[in-house]
Amino acid sequence: MISLAAGSTSGKPSNQNFLDPKVLGIEEHFLSNGLRVVTWEDHSAPLVTLQVAYHVGSVNERPGITGISHLFEHLMFKGSYKYGPEEHANIVQANGGRLNAFTTNDMTLYYENIAADKLELVISMEAEREANLAITAENLKSEREVVKEERRMRTD
């Protein structure tokens, strides 16, 4: 492992690992509801990245019944009680931000990159869609077809 000492001119590794979360200023907190919050401040630009990770992916699915994690990744963009289909994405983009999501073997992650003064907005929208996801027969049918097509294009 590589480690560097701040201000060292000898080029020799120090005992202080530059990847140590404490050295980088990474902090971890746990909310009363069990949510783990990890923060890292970098004031080099007036931007914020919010990432919401769910520890669920294809590893949690049964053989022959796959794609459910990916399907729910898509459903998270189909609206909630408060926001209509794609409205979450439209609001982020109207505020100059970018967002997307992906599902891997063991995780589904959503992210928004946006101006720092919009952090409260994106946190509230994430909370809304997590609590009040619009799971309708119409949304399930349309997104199931999208996920099946993505699987045909990327996997099969």
State residue 89 phi and psi, 5-degree precision: -65, -40
CA count, 13 A, side-chain hemisphere, 68: 10
Active site residue 149: no
Using CA atoms of 64, 154, 129, 122 in order, give the dihedral in degrees to the nearest 10. 150
Neighbours of 97 (CB within 10 A): 20
Given 27, 28, 61, 73, the catalytic residue: 73
Tokens of 26: 């990474």
Looking at the annotation, which residues are catalytic?
73
